[in-house]
Structure 1
């Protein structure tokens, strides 16, 4: 049975000091502790603890380093969320364009195009909820002008309110024989739909982490991308072993690869490098990055 008592900010600071965390400014610490919840911070100081049972910190563990790590992670999420936005908009556009030309505006309601009808029904139910909540003028205007049409708005409108997760699920659920599925993958230089769907699933989990302001640093990512054996565009030569594909690095490489296709001239490398330089105390190995990541063909 859970028996821990409620503690004040002052008690939290005293407890952290007793456990060996160096706090140089109690007033500043109190400010952070009153604005960043306890269990949001735990993930950042957990690696600093020598004993996970008694929560005793390793020698020279500093509260300032915890806050720096928290701020680094926040800025990293903002940076990657911007990358994911560009990939998401491109995917949405390509799905609507190619599939509408091949199967009409209401392709997403044609069960014969999909592998799993149950999954499609769940996805359509989620889309319906998004449509009901939508405040977008083009959705409201469509409903007003076409109130007698009980179908979803055409894909050029419906997909605009679809979440990245729903886009990924719809794409993955399309039958392999749907030509547009491989056409989209080809334009994104992932050769075929098998690899692209894997990458989209990987990116969707990162997007959800960013959207919910959760920790990315030192996070073990459950969904790992399937890697292309011979990518047609520049890739990395020193691919991490499979047991490290749960770290962020390989996922960011996939995102950068897609970004090169959808947004040439971006500055992801420079922005990442600047972020790493801004926070030199952050252990990049926890993200899977090594010291030579910038020399890889993908990043040059």
Structure 2
């Protein structure tokens, strides 16, 4: 039976000190632990422990390094959230435009155009919740003006309320015979529908980590984007090995590839470099970064 009791901040500090973490007076440790929970920070000091059973720290492990890792990760999430926002808005725009013209403004409710009916039911349920929560004037006015219409508002209204996760699921669930599915993939430089769904699912997962302030540094990622053997635009030369997909780097490459389409003159590389310079104690290898990643054509 789990019988541990809650520790006071003083007890938390004493436990860390007893386990070998170096805490200096200037570290302002009480302030940090009163605003950032012990177990949120634990994800950053975990690799510093040489004994995972007794939680003993390696020699010269410092609380200041824990805070530096935490701060780096926070700024990384902010950077990625900004990048993903641009990709999300572009995907939303393309789904609304192409499918509303190919089919009709209510294509996302038409089960004839989707592979899995149960998956579409779940997605539509999420979209309905998002619309019901909306305070946007154009949604309120639509409901008031068309209260006898049992359908969702048209795509250009409904999908503006829809999360990136739901958008990626709508796209991935489209039947491969829907022309717009390939058109959108081609416009994103991913050739056809075979590759883009897995990219979007991966990015949506990372977006969720960013939105919920979850750790990205040194995290094993579940997504596995399918990579093109010969992409039409700038890409990386070194093909990643299977185990490398758990690290963030290849997912960053997918984001950069799409961002280069959406915003050709972006500063993603420079901002990443600035982060590593600002936090020199951060090991880029914990993100799966290659030694000379900046020299890859993708990142130039």
Q: TM-score, normalised by structure 1?
A: 0.98
Residues 190, 228 of structure 1: 8 Å contact kept: yes
Residues 21, 62 of structure 1: 8 Å contact kept: yes
SS in 1 for 2:50: strand
- Alignment root-mean-square deviation, CA: 0.9
Matched with 2:28 is 28
Specify every segment of 5 or more residues in structure 1 that has no aligned partner in the other structure, as ranges. none
Distance 2:280 2:13 in 1: 26
Output aligned runs, 1:169-248, within 5 Å. Answer: 169-248=169-248
SS in 1 for 2:246: coil
Matched with 1:61 is 61
How far did 1:26 drift? 6.9
Matched with 2:297 is 297
Distance 1:239 1:37 in 2: 39
Residues 84, 207 of structure 2: 8 Å contact kept: yes
Equivalenced residue count is 300
The farther-off stretch of 33-42 and 55-64 is 33-42
Matched with 1:148 is 148
Runs of 4+ aligned residues of structure 1 deviating over 2 Å after TM superposition are: none
How far did 1:149 drift? 1.3
Output aligned runs, 1:105-184, within 5 Å. Answer: 105-184=105-184
Distance 1:118 1:14 in 2: 52
Output aligned runs, 1:87-106, within 5 Å. Answer: 87-106=87-106
How far did 1:194 drift? 1.7
Distance 1:82 1:165 in 2: 16
Distance 2:240 2:172 in 1: 26
Distance 2:297 2:179 in 1: 31
CA spacing shift, 1:201–1:295, aligned 2, 3 Å: same
Distance 1:105 1:46 in 2: 50
Residue by residue over 1:158-183, the C-alpha shift from the partner in whole angstroms, topping out at 9 and shown as x without a partner, is 11011111101110110000000000
Residues 131, 158 of structure 1: 8 Å contact kept: yes
Matched with 1:280 is 280
Distance 2:185 2:240 in 1: 24
Distance 2:216 2:50 in 1: 22
Distance 1:119 1:240 in 2: 31
How far did 1:290 drift? 2.2
Distance 1:205 1:37 in 2: 23
Specify every segment of 5 or more residues in structure 2 that has no aligned partner in the other structure, as ranges. none
